[in-house]
Amino acid sequence: MLSPRRRSRRPGAALERHVASALGGQLTRNSGAQDLDGDVRVEDIAIECKYTVHPGNYILKNVVYEEHNRDCARRGLTPVWALQRADQTVVCIMRLQDFADMLSTIKSMADTIRRYESEE
């Protein structure tokens, strides 16, 4: 049986495992205790996981936003935040330019695949 203190940290750890599994990423061990970027790493994306158990609004504090941005910029990583709402829905937040770059890459890959398939 987990102690009440350990049990209170379980939702965050469960969210991190869920995000890593859903995205094929790796957990960053002791991410909160060390100078490491994000809780989950997928390629060059560092994902900071946050959750709330209270219905209503979740506030992504500016200090949390700026810290993750700064840490990722130092290492050339793209910052993303995965927020789990009280209803268990997980939403991701990223900067618009990073999202546009990602879409551009996906479109380029799709065009390459279509060209390759049309040559066969």
Q: Which residues pair with 81 in a beta bridge?
A: 48, 93
CATH number of the domain residue 86 falls in: 3.40.1350.10
Q: What is the pLDDT of residue 7?
A: 45
pLDDT tens for 20-76 read: 999 999 998 765 545 556 899 999 999 999 888 777 777 888 998 999 999 999 999
* Structural domain count, the chain: 1
- Number of other residues whose CB lies within 10 A of the CB of residue 72: 20
Q: What is the pTM of this model?
A: 0.79
The pLDDT-based confidence of 12 (bands split at 50, 70, 90) is confident
Sheet (strand 78-84) strand order: 26-27, 40-42, 45-51, 78-84, 90-93
Any domain includes 44 = yes
Any domain includes 47 = yes
Any domain includes 111 = no
Note down the domain range covering 16: 4-94
